[in-house]
Structure 1
Amino acid sequence: MSEVSTSSAAPSLSPEVARRLKRRYAAERRFQVYGLSAIMIGLAFLVIMFTSIIQAGLPAFQETRIRLDVELEADKFPTDPAELTADGLRLVGWTGMIQKSIRDTLKPEARSDAVLMHKLLSPNAEVAVRDAVVDDPSLIGSTLSIWVLAAGDVDAIMKGTIDRNLPEEQRTVNDKQLTYIDRLDADGRLRKQFAFTLFTAGASSYPESSGIGVAMIGSLFMMLIVLMLALPIGVAAAVYLEEFAPRNRWTDIIEVNINNLAAVPSIVFGLLGLAVFINFVELPRSAPLVGGLVLTLMTLPTVIIATRAALKAVPPSIREAALGIGASKMQSIFHHVLPLAAPGILTSIIIGLAQALGETAPLLMIGMVATVFTYPATPMDPATALPVQIYMWSGLPERGFVARTSAGIMVLLGFLIFMNALAVFLRKKFERRW
């Protein structure tokens, strides 16, 4: 019995082998610690980045408004109903009406006090009153009670961005203006609300009346152009290269160039678009059409490479079975291979669109940094894009644009996260494992 138990026992290790095993296990543990440390550091930086963006951007989702009672004196308006439009009412003395309203509300004691009162209102206030009259001309001759945007400094005081306890010389709002703000608040003429202006307005030199509405429409036009061009061209090119193209030197050169184009800096595509679409074809600068064409060129390599990978993932037996029952080469591809590769193709398109949506450098090269106040009606009208609008806000010195910049980043990140999540969902839902 002792011989059996001795022979079945594990062999003893020599001291040298034991030391080597100990070092190997220690090295494995160190590698795991290094990997976990790298992940934790990356997550920590990610949390810090998102926290700083959210903290800086949340105030931009609220805006401060002041309620005014504006007397719309009939003798200051044109008598012809055809002139009661935004352009026809442009020369009406809106500024005087609004300033009179704030003076009647706060009762200045001196002329200098009236100037301080006027500075509590955003220059956008007269636009709001004019639009109300355009929408309802029957208001002429009556007193209009309307909530208008407060000035950026008043908005910052209400949100706590400017500390009202600082000495007066360190604030952009003096003590007397603080008194006026408190009076308006006590009278129920001051309120904070959701900042619809952020999503409906266009560019402005005043932070409280700036928004991403025009930029979002410009980005939408460009994404539609990218989708309409990159999807058919990219899929057709991928199908030809993967299924029909002969394997020779020319196709090898084409494949190498496609792979290289996927790694080219995006600003190079902007230079190409400037040279071809603007200088040669003479398309208008700052038009979503040009931006969409440039982003299509940038997106095509990604779509082609990802689509070819999806086609390769379809087993050859599918093609052979289709050909074996009498289908032509074209029928086997379009009736069997492409439907099975559709999830991967959809994923590639969504990822390409997400990449194009966040690009800034190529759009800067084609002049989409113009300040645009009105919504583009067609892809040929001047517009800007969401990442370009964020870039322009980041270079402005006013305090309110800091929050606007971070809010724009939050909106852009929201779109990108949604599009990537959609790509993952579609891939998981429709993907077939072979």
Structure 2
Amino acid sequence: MTEFASPTVRVSTRPAASRRDIGIKRRYAAERRFRAFGMSAIAIGLFFLAVLLWSVVSKGYTAFQQTTITLPIEFSEKVIDPKNERATDPKQLYTANYPLLVREALVKQLGLDPSKRPLVKQAADMVSASARTQLRDIVVADPSVIGRTIPVTLLAEANIDSAFKGQIDLSVDETKRKVKDEQVAWMNQLAEAGVLKKSFNTGIFTFGASSRPEAAGVGVALLGSLYMMLIVLVLSLPIGVAASIYLEEFAPKNRLTDLIEVNINNLAAVPSIVYGLLGLAVFVNFAGMPRSAALVGAFVLTLMTLPTIIIATRAALKAVPPSIRSAALGLGASKMQTIFHHVLPLAMPGILTGTIIGLAHALGETAPLLLIGMVAFVVDFPGSPLEPSTALPVQIYMWANEAERAFVERTSGAIIILLIFLIFMNLGAILLRRRFERRW
């Protein structure tokens, strides 16, 4: 008789409760690892965010201070209107040699010898070239100042401003810096006399574009961005909400609507520069609208913002419980009444949140505005959206390409202003959601 060897069976001597405890410990260990990975990812993100903010703030906070020089300017009639022709020829006031008034005031203040022209020129270079325009505007606005001596606060030249703020190492050799030793001595002399000092730089909010850093500001860019955001809001909100209501509540479910939904989702992911190309081809080249106008920029940003608003609005409409619709229809309300009296008010927090987020995204866009020519050097404030203007992110881009060292702090200062606007817009979105949100 053939005998068969029975297979060896391994019997665990470990109790079942012990094996269960090991499995639980493994799951707890995996959970702890996952939490550690998540916290590490958050910590890394916060670290780089802190580095970014520190690099911007550390370079840009000085842009909100400006070095000024207050001098008693003698508006000499011999310099401004030697032939007394201002009554018959007002243009005489525009062409006067106003820098000479500044030089004479500096010579008296510093006690210099007027015959030493190199020293006089070095002293005059401490004052911004924008002083000519400032004095001209004073005389044109009030010709009665001619013949009088009044104190005028002038902007210091960019290098003097940087040196007074401690941004230039004055211990290095004179040949390796733009501020001369004589200018350093005069700077200290004027500071001790209280003539040269730092004050809050209101010009960064009120000045337009300038090739001189000390006279450059984001005033024109702020107004251009305001024009664009108002137009984008007026156009994108009603169009986006109307399109969302139709697609979500009225449109039949077929291939056409499915194709539209897919295209809307794809448009939300299209690079912004593509919208710039579209705006250049349609609004500028085809429609003949003016380049670098806020209206054209607003149209381009509206096209870019619409997909975001439509997606957010549709999500807010879907979040409204179906029982609300059924109850309204059961009480005799029409389809339109159900939507506009019940569904839309309940979806308003999500709609407003999506709109503000879309506007904040549009506010920080640069690429589409570059393509439609909003990189123009605009000094005067635009009186309407049809006049040439620029935008805040474009102004930052332009300053970042400047060679002057003083534009570095202006660039970082403009970034701080843009970040503050974005923070307030996002805070507004959060507050609106909490204000109108209802829990089911």
Pairwise same-fold verdict (TM > 0.5)? yes
Number of the residue aligned with 2:330? 324
The CA deviation at 1:349 is 1.2
1:389 equivalenced with 2:395 (yes/no): yes
Distance 2:283 2:354 in 1: 26
- Provide the TM-score with structure 2 as the length reference: 0.92
Pick the aligned partner of 1:92 from 76, 96, 102. Answer: 96
* Seq. identity, %: 56
**Counterpart mapping for 1:329-344 below 5 A:** 329-344=335-350
Deviation at 1:29, TM superposition (A): 1.8
Size of the alignment, in residue pairs? Answer: 422
Matched residues in 1 for 2:221 and 2:88: separation?
32
Residue 82 of structure 1, CA deviation: 8.2
Cα deviation code 1:77-134 (max 9, x no counterpart): 36445865xx773212112222222223223342110111111010111122122223
Q: Deviations over 1:33-88 (max 9, x none)?
A: 1111111111111111111111100110000001122221235236445865xx77
The runs of 5 or more residues in structure 1 that have no matched partner are: 1-10
Match of 2:34 in 1: 31
What does residue 103 of structure 1 align with? 107
1:243-301 Cα distance to aligned partner (Å, 9 max, x none): 11111111111111000000000000000000000000011110000000000000000
Shift of 1:165: 2.0
1:427 pairs with 2:427:
no
Q: Which residue of 1 aligns with 2:60?
A: 57
For the Cα contact (< 8 Å) 2:86–2:92, is it kept in 1?
no
1:292-351 residue CA offsets vs partner (Å, 9 max, x unmatched): 000000000000110111111111222222222222111111121111111111111111
Residue of structure 1 equivalent to 2:217: 211
Q: Corresponding residue for 2:262?
A: 256
The whole-number CA distance in structure 1 between the counterparts of 2:151 and 2:279 is 50
Distance 1:82 1:16 in 2: 107
Bigger CA radius of gyration: 2
CA separation of 1:260 and 1:370: change in aligned 2, threshold 3 A: same
> Contact conserved, 2:86 with 2:93, CA < 8 A, in 1?
no
Change (3 A) 1:426 1:81: farther
User: Aligned partners of 1:360, 1:88: CA distance in 2, in Å?
Assistant: 42
The one-letter amino acid of 1:199's match is F
Distance 1:420 1:249 in 2: 36
- Matched with 1:6 is none
Partner of 2:374: 368
Letter in 1 for 2:76: E
1:247 aligns with 2:248: no
Give the match's secondary structure for 1:390.
helix
Displacement over 6 Å in runs of 4+: none
Shift in Å, 1:17? 4.9
Query: Which residue number in structure 1 is paired with residue 363 of structure 2?
Result: 357
String of CA shifts for 1:381-406, please: whole Å, max 9, x gaps. 00000000001111112111110111
Q: Over aligned residues, Cα RMSD in angstroms?
A: 1.7
Verify: 1:44 aligned to 2:50, yes or no.
no
CA shift, 1:164, in A, is: 1.9
